[in-house]
Every structure is written in structure tokens, then in C-alpha cells.
A and B are shown apart, each in its own frame.
Chain A
Amino acid sequence: MSDPLAINHTNTANETHDLNKVIQILEAALLSSQEPLSAQELRRLFNHEFTASLITNQLEQIRDKWTNSCIELVQVASGWRFQVRPEIQPYLDRLTPQKVPRYTRAVMETLAIIAYHQPVTRGDIEEIRGVGTSSAILKTLSVRGWIETVGHRSVPGKPALFATTVNFLNDLNLRTLEELPPLEEMKSLIAIDLSST
């Protein structure tokens, strides 16, 4: 056997030893990667020796193993990544005196329309917001890698159609678009003012 990780199925002691090594290799890969890694991508670490479900199994074990530490393993849209535990984050923020700027309401509203109504054109966005949308807003979002053009609508001017990216889901700790906070029902928006009058 040329593969040092080949598992001897008759020897349980060997097997646990090897699985420990698998876990170490997975941890090293995840800790040194800048991007989230999927179970399929991680199979390459072992020359596709293991199935994706076995890798996923090990990833879940790693997640449990790190439960009581400063960092955690989470699953996002394009795979798994290590990140600082949310309860530790406020302490880290003290190291950097200047606050990370939050996006303006105009940027967030534009992002919300693209996320919930995609694919949409700039005209659709302006229609809902009732105000012009500057190119700077769309540029901010595409430079961040959160939105991209996925086509053009066949109306005069051929306006670009925008959609959100996988990176957008990754950066918001989400796995799918379905995990976005649900839109408030129109009925409940009306109900607010019926109850207040």
C-alpha cells in the first residue's frame, strides 16, 4: 500500500489512529485556508480515498471537539470554515480602536431588494425604493463580491440583472438563500396601523 493513510479494516486500534490523523489533516487544511472548504474539496487531501460523507462525519466531530474553545467550525454556503466564537469577538474589537463602518441604509436596502427579489434590474430597485440608485451603491456591493450581473432584460437599454453571490451567503454565515430572515407579511404591516388607530 503506497498510501500512508490506508485504513486497515481488521485492526480497530490502527483505524482510530488513522482517523486521528485524518482529523489533524482536515484541521490543518481548514485553519490555513482563507476560503471555506467543502467536503468534496477536502477529499483531495486524501487523493479521494474517502467518501464525502466520511469527511463530513469527521468535520462534525471536529466541530464538536472545538465546542469549548475560542474558535468554532461552522458550515456556510460554499463549505466549512473556522471563525472566532461570537462571544469572544467583542474583546478582539478592543484591539482595533476604529469601528468597522456599517453599510448605509441605501446600500442595505439595495442589497435587500436584490437578495429577496433577484434577479432584478436597477430600475426595479429604484421602483421599490422610490428614489434614484447611484452607481456607487451597486459598485460597493459588487466590489464586496456580494452581487453580480447574471444577464440582461430584453427591454430598451438592456439593463443588467443583478443577483446575489455564494460569497454573500458565506459572509453572512448562511448556507442557502432560504436561511435569510423571512420577509414580513404585507398583512402584518397593515395590522400594525390598524392596532395603533
Chain B
Amino acid sequence: MSLWHFYSRNSQEVLGLVGQHLYLVAISTGTAIVIGVPLGVLLTRRPAWRGPVLGVANVFQTVPSLALFGFLIPLPLIGGIGATTAIVALVLYALLPIIRNTYTGITGVDSAVREAGRGMGMTDWQLLTQVELPLGLGVILAGVRVATVVSVGTATIAAAIGAGGLGVYIFRGVAVVDDTLILAGALPAALMALAADGLLGVAERRFAWRAE
């Protein structure tokens, strides 16, 4: 059975799985931004915390995704079978690039610009929101881009714990040794990753401010 044939016969199901996949990626990346950006900012204000926080985020990255899903299942509240567990795991994966790039983006702001801002009487909050975050935005978005692309890929494995998404076809295809079925899940996931990479890449370049 050809791929096109498969898609035309199962269009409803395909769209449903694409929707689930997008949902997993969007919710998890969004949550990781909400947690990761403030954490990254905090590290620029408390440099002593940098080692421990980045260390912990790093550890999450090194745990194989299937193992992380497995570890989370028995936990109360965040665990169990389904999308919640998958989202928690995806957030943990997405945190490191976002925290690290927020920190790098802000510390990378020209020290003369920062000194001028402080010397002109900006409060720390004004300096952060009017100078450091806008100037670091390109680097922060690069972190979001990496996190999103990784999430699209990792979310396919979330099907193993019943979270749905395009991984459903991949796992099913592996189980019945059907290449068309594997491709039916892998192809849209790959296109989604490329689209996210392209779109966020455009945003990133838009906010890469030229130095003086």
C-alpha cells in the first residue's frame, strides 16, 4: 500500500495524530519557556547558582527519553499513562537549551551598553526588560528553536506511554514490520521539525541586533 493511499484512506486519524503531536510539542515547549527564561535570567543575577542549575538540567538531557518516560510513570500527579507524563518529560528535555541560551544571550550583551544603561539611571528591571532581553532575544530564540526541534522528535517516543502523536504509527509500523506505516508517522514529524526550525530561524535572525 502506498503512502498516499494510506493517507487518503486514514485522513481523519492522521490529522488527529498530527494535532496531538503539535499539542504535545506546543504545551511542553511553552512551559519550558515559562520556566526556563526566568531561570536563565536568575542565573545572570546569581552566578553561583549557574553550576548546580545547569548541571541538573544537563542530567535530564543525558537520560535516554524512553527511560525518562519510564521513570515518570510511577510518580504521583505528574506520572501515569498518557499525555501529562509525556509533557513533563518533554519540558525537562527542553529546559537546558532554553536556560543556557537565556543566560548566554544576556551575559553576551556588550558590557559598555550595560554600563551606559546603569549609568543613566535604569533600574535593574528596566535594564533587563528594555536592554538585556531585547538584545539577547536572538540567542534566546536559538535555544527555543533547538528545544522545539528536539521536542518534535522526542514526542514520537511519547506514543510508547500512551500519549498519542505521530509515534503511534511508528510504533505500530515497527510492531507489524510495515515500512509504509513507519513512514506515515516519521514523514510528517520530520516536516514539522523542519518547519519549526525554519520559522524560528527567521525570528532568530530578525532579532539578532548588529553590534555598534
A is bound by B: no
Q: Give chain A's interface residues, CB within 8 Å of chain B.
A: none
The residues of B with any CB-CB pair to A shorter than 8 Å are none
